[in-house]
Amino acid sequence: MTYLHPLAFLLGLEGVALLRATAGDEGLDRSFVAARIAEVRRLLDEAAPSLGEGVERGSLATVDGYATWAETYDQPGNPLIDVEEPVVRKILGGLPPGRALDAACGTGRYAEWLAGRGHRVTGVDTSPEMLGRARAKVPGGDFLLGDLRALPVSESAFDVVVCGLALAHVAELPEVLAEFARVLRPGGHLVVSDIHLLSLYLGGVAHAAGPDGRVGMLPAYRRGAAAYLGSALPAGFRVRGCAEPGWPSSEDAGGPQARRWCPEAADVAYIGTPAVIIWHFTLDG
C-alpha cells in the first residue's frame, strides 16, 4: 500500500524548490528561500486543516486500469502526451512509409497517425477495450491482443516499431527490447517514449479505478538511461538519438492544491524538469 497525503505532496514540492535553490539555480536567491520557508510554515499552520487526511492506495493491474481509461483516454488535455507526441512524431515523420507496429497501441494514437502517412499498421495491446477504440480509428489496420514480452507477430515483419508511454508499466525491459528486435527487419527503426524517472518522483505515477471502482496505482518502474541502454544494446540496437523534453510553463503545474498554496514552488519543481525520455534506435543489419 502507498500512503498519499496532500500536505506531504505540497511540502515535497517546497523541498524540491529549496534543493534547486541550494544547487544554485539562477534566480533562486535569498528572498526565494525565505519565501519558501515562510510558505512551509503557512502550509503547516493554515493549509493542513483544510487539506484533510491522506489515503492508502493499493496496486492495480495495467489491463484493469486501461479498461477504465479507454472511454476517456483520447480526450484532450493529457499534459504528458502534449510534451511527448510532437517529439515522437518528428522522428517518425522522417521515416519512409512501410510496415509499422504500434506496440502497446492503446487507442491507436500512433497507429492512426502512421496510417495517415502511408504506413501499413499493426497494433498490439493487452486491453480489449483500448483495441476496440483503435480498430474504430484505423479500420484498415490489424489490431491484436497480446503482450509486449511475446508479441503475436512474425520475425522481421516490420520496418518501424513505436512504443509510446508504456514501458514503465513492464518489469521485464530486456525481454521487451529483445522482442522488438525480433519483429524488426535489420536496419529497422525503433522509437520508444516513456515517462521520465523524475516525473514519477514528482507524482506522475498513474492512478485509475479498477473493476470494483476502487482507485489503485498502476505499475511504474523507475529507470534511468542506463536501464534502456543496457536492454537495447545487447538486443542489437544502435542509438540514433535521445530526447528528454521538459515540462513547459503551465497554469496547472502541480495540480489545484499546489496552485492555491504554493504555485511558485510548483513552477520551480516542474518547469524544465524532464517529463519524458524518448529514444530512437536502429537495429543492426
pLDDT in tens, 163-185: 999 999 999 999 999 999 999 99
258 pLDDT more than 80: yes
Average pLDDT in the 205-214 region?
Answer: 86
Average pLDDT in the 21-40 region?
Answer: 95
161 pLDDT more than 90: yes
Length of the chain, in residues: 285
Average pLDDT in the 209-222 region?
Answer: 89
Query: How high is the pLDDT of residue 212?
Result: 84
Triad 111, 112, 117: Cα angle to 5°: 95
Residue 68 pLDDT grade (very low, low, confident, very high; cuts 50, 70, 90): confident
CA-CA distance, 193 to 15, in Å (whole number)? 28
Average pLDDT in the 87-98 region?
Answer: 97
Higher pLDDT, 210 or 139: 139
Query: How high is the pLDDT of residue 185?
Result: 98
140 CA to centre of own chain = 27
Q: What is the pTM of this model?
A: 0.95
CA-CA distance, 62 to 105, in Å (whole number)? 13
pLDDT tens sequence across 97-144: 999 999 999 999 999 999 999 999 999 999 999 999 999 999 999 999
Q: What is the CA radius of gyration of the chain?
A: 21
Residue 42 pLDDT grade (very low, low, confident, very high; cuts 50, 70, 90): very high
Residue 12 pLDDT grade (very low, low, confident, very high; cuts 50, 70, 90): very high
Query: How high is the pLDDT of residue 270?
Result: 97
- Compute the mean pLDDT over every residue in the chain, rounded to the nearest whole number: 95
Place of cell 473493476: 211
CATH code of the region 62-202+221-263+273-283: 3.40.50.150
SS3 track for the chain: CEEECHHHHHHHHHHHHHHHHHCCCCCCCHHHHHHHHHHHHHHHHHHHHHHCCCEEECECCHHHHHHHHCCCCCCCCCHHHHHHHHHHHHHHHCCCCCEEEEECCCCCHHHHHHHCCCCEEEEEECCHHHHHHHHHHCCCCEEEECECCECCCCCCCEEEEEEECCHHHCCCHHHHHHHHHHHEEEEEEEEEEEECHHHHHHHHCCEEECCCCCEEECCCCCCCHHHHHHHHCCCCEEEEEEECCEECCCCCCCCHHHHHHCHHHHHHHHECCECEEEEEEEECC
